[in-house]
Every structure is written in structure tokens, then in C-alpha cells.
Amino acid sequence: MAELDGKVAIVTGAASGVGAATARVLAREGAAVVVADINAGGAEAVAKRIRAAGGRAVPAVTDVAEEAQVAAMVDVAVREFGRLDLLHNNAALAGPEVMTRDTLITEIDPELWDRVMRVNLRGYALGAKHAIPAMLESGGSGVIVNTSSGTGLLGEPSRSAYGTSKAAIFGLTRSIATQYGKQGIRCVALALGLIATEALKANFAQPVQDMMTSHHLTPRLGEPEDVAEVVSFLASDRAAFITGCAIPVDGGFTAHTASYADELRLLEAAEG
């Protein structure tokens, strides 16, 4: 029997990247999955792929910044599969059209700041707001996994709004875990390193990818499946005592001082 048999999950931002990989892994482990994304075609394609592999999945076109759409997304899970056990809050504004404008705090456009917060933070809060009652009605337990980032733990020379939104997710995670833990709801954040999604490969030049790889302690960047496997574990009963915390899934990105790592590489190059 698969580990998540009988479980029902919602994954946001699931049309591509980490979300799509997570939806596939959860389905592989037996969960029924609502593939939620603002990209209708992408969500349908992921759901169709899961069904073709013998899993259960339906798409839900969802802008996570809009409360009515988030409520409807949760309703899809309960209507189609009868319950809700897992919400993976994963949708985020991280495309180049946003990131190139997300600069110094003294220069950032307030409209862009608000837009990033609406999706990256408000979207997660709305997901929890509507998922928790459905989880409690499903039997009094559930898991919320919030995708955050190592950039929420460390300062950056730019990306002020993105980094702040990711830092706030850690606080939101602790609040949810504290408020609903005694009712059986667990909440965990993931502090991701750089994940080699198709979008990253398309939008970051190879020298930039190489530079970022050098700041991870692993010989490669993360893959979407690396994150998906952690989400699947956290959704399982094996993780029943894990809540209210941030788990690094970052290849050691936040475990060292980058300047020292650069110095070491220079010394090794000189000796070579």
C-alpha cells in the first residue's frame, strides 16, 4: 500500500516546477491531488499526466491572491475527493518580469511590493484560512507545507520584496502550528535553495547558474523532485512529530559563509 493512500492534497503553483513535481510524487504515493494554478492549461496538463499514470488528479484554476478562488479551490478537493489532508502552499511571484524590478528598498515600486505580498504571503494565509476548516471536518488532522526560501533567512543586495515575503512565511508557519496544533494540524516551512526548474534554466544564464551552484555545498543545484520528496514525507504519518519549524532543502546554501567558500575555491585553483 502506498504511503499516502486515502489522503487528499492541494498543491498550488502546480502547473510547473516544484509544484508539478510535488503533485506527481504525492499521486505516486497514493494521494488524490488538486492541481491548482493560475495557468489553466498547465494545471490540466499536469493532472492529465497523473491520471495517465494511474493516479487521481483534477485541475483547479486558482489565483491564490483572490479569496473567492482559494475557497473554490478547497471546495474542489472536498467535492471531488471527499476530504482534505494536505495543502502545499507553493505558488509565488518569481518570474523575471517581477524579479528585475524587485530592487533596493529605496527604489522599489510600492505597487510591485504589494503585488508580491499579495501572492507570496497573502496567498499562503488565504490557503490556510480555508484549508484548516476542511481538514478539521475531514477528521481533525492535516498538514500545511509552506514553500519558503533561504533568501528569507539571509539578506540580499536586491529582491527586497521577495526576500521579505519569504521571511514572513516562517512567521506565518509558526503561527498556524501554534494556533491549530492541539487540533491536529501541523504546519512546516521549507527553506529552499536554488532549484533547477525549467523556468530557472530559461531565465538564468549558465554563468549565473554556475555561480549559484558554487554557493551550495552539493555538487549540483536542487531538482524539483528533491523538494517533492520532502513534501511527501511531511504529509505522511512518519513526520507526525514535526511542526512549527523551517526545514532547509537547500544543498547547504544557508550553512556556510559564501565569502569564505569563494576564498577556498581561489586557493584550490591557485594550488591546482
Task: Based on the residue annotation, tell me whether 180 is a catalytic residue of this protein.
Answer: no
Closest Cα partner for 60 from 140, 149, 131, 139? 131
Judge whether residue 270 has pLDDT over 80. Answer: no
Lowest mean per-residue pLDDT among 25-34, 173-182, 197-206, 259-268? 259-268
Asked whether 49 and 24 are in contact (CB, 8 A), the reply is yes
Domains of the chain, first to last: 8-271 (3.40.50.720)
Mean pLDDT of 27-55: 98
pLDDT (tens digit per residue) in 196-242: 998 888 877 888 888 889 889 999 999 999 999 999 999 999 999 99
Instruction: Determine the pLDDT at residue 264.
Output: 67
Could you say which of 124, 162, 180, 260 is catalytic? Answer: 162
Total-model pTM: 0.94
Mean residue pLDDT across the chain: 94
Q: Which three cell numbers stand for residue 225?
A: 523532485
For 237, phi and psi rounded to 5 degrees? -70, -20
**Angle at CA of residue 78, ends 76 and 82, nearest 5°:** 135
pLDDT (tens digit per residue) in 72-82: 999 999 999 99
Mean pLDDT of 181-192: 98
Mean pLDDT of 179-200: 95
